[in-house]
């Protein structure tokens, strides 16, 4: 019997190209720009290039090992690599400014609140698992759209030090809910991390995608193009 529905965050529940770009590419460069604008650091073009390349290396290592690196550790390490050591509060202030400025760019997905509300009324336990460098941003967004109340738990890779698609972060989420893998669905948009990761942990999956005729469709339990489609599938499969 299915007891819990766990969700990816970005491109599943919410959307923001700006946030996506920060998470996968511009975190270091944008943070260094803020520090420069405040007159805290002065970097040459070559040093900016070195810092961005260093970030690429950090991300690649995180992808390979499944061990997340926080926004603070990312910026701190990039600066130390350039021979610069700043106080923790200075770096954290720049990071917070970057993500605060990103907050207005994010929008809630169509039908998300209605779907979450219905799932809770139907008795399902809800949770989030998100790969993200900066945990506070996830909670800011949930509060902005007043949907935090629907979730029993929120797992952010920066907070637990583990990343999708590796099994450990899924197991952490399930253990915190006291739910077995076979009692849960995972809903996500990114096939290699969300669907493969959840399936390898023993969960059932909803793949949220606009792709048509993709051969990978058969590896997800259900393929949906709108998050509200979850409701119909769960009603039909109430005893799975």
Report the distance separating Cα 171 and Cα 20, nearest Å.
25
Closest CA to 149 of 186, 121, 107: 121
Q: How confident is the model at residue 210 (pLDDT cuts 50, 70, 90)?
A: confident
CA 160 vs CA 129, 168, 170, 173: distances in Å = 10, 10, 11, 10
**How close are the terminal C-alpha atoms of the chain, in Å?**
5
Task: Work out the average pLDDT over 120-134.
Answer: 98
Report the distance separating Cα 72 and Cα 94, nearest Å.
10
Report the distance separating Cα 69 and Cα 78, nearest Å.
12
Pairing of strands 222-224, 14-15: unpaired
Mean pLDDT, rounded, of the chain: 95
**Which run of H or E residues covers position 185?**
strand 184-188
168 Cβ neighbours under 8 A, 6+ residues apart: 66, 162
Q: pLDDT tens digits, residue range 41-50? A: 999 999 999 9
Task: Work out the average pLDDT over 172-179.
Answer: 98
198 Cβ neighbours under 8 A, 6+ residues apart: 6, 170, 186, 188, 204, 205
Report the distance separating Cα 61 and Cα 53, nearest Å.
13
Residue indicated by tokens 């990103």: 102
Q: Does position 164 have pLDDT exceeding 90, yes or no?
A: yes
Q: Does position 83 have pLDDT exceeding 80, yes or no?
A: yes
Q: How confident is the model at residue 213 (pLDDT cuts 50, 70, 90)?
A: low
Q: What pLDDT, on the 0 to 100 scale, is given for residue 24?
A: 93
Closest CA to 102 of 78, 138, 72: 138
Q: How confident is the model at residue 152 (pLDDT cuts 50, 70, 90)?
A: very high
Cis peptide before 165 (omega within 30 of 0): yes
Question: Which domains, ranges and CATH numbers included, belong to the chain?
Answer: 4-14+108-236 (3.40.50.1000), 17-104 (1.10.472)
Q: What is this structure's pTM?
A: 0.95
pLDDT above 70 covers a percentage of the chain that reads 95
Report the distance separating Cα 160 and Cα 153, nearest Å.
13
């Amino acid at each position: 019997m299915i007891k819990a529905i766990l969700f990816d965050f970005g491109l599943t529940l919410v959307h923001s190209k700006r946030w996506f770009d920060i998470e996968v590419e511009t975190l270091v460069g944008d943070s260094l720009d803020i520090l420069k604008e405040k007159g805290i650091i002065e970097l040459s073009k070559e040093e900016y290039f070195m810092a961005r390349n260093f970030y690429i290396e950090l991300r690649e290592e995180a992808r390979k090992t499944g061990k997340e690196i926080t926004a603070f550790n990312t910026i701190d390490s990039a600066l130390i690599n350039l021979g610069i050591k700043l106080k923790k509060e200075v770096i954290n202030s720049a990071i917070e400014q970057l993500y605060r400025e990103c907050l207005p760019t994010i929008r809630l997905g169509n039908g998300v609140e209605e779907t979450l509300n219905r799932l809770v009324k139907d008795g399902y336990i809800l949770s989030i698992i998100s790969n993200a460098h900066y945990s506070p941003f996830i909670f800011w967004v949930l509060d902005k759209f007043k949907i935090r109340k629907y979730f029993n738990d929120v797992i952010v890779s920066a907070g637990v030090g583990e990343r999708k698609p590796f099994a450990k972060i899924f197991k952490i989420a399930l253990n915190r809910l006291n739910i077995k893998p076979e009692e849960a669905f995972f809903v996500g948009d990114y096939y290699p991390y969300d669907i493969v990761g959840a399936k390898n942990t023993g969960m059932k999956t909803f793949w949220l995608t606009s792709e048509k005729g993709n051969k990978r469709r058969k590896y997800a339990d259900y393929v949906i193009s709108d998050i509200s489609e979850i409701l119909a599938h769960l009603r039909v499969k109430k005893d799975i």
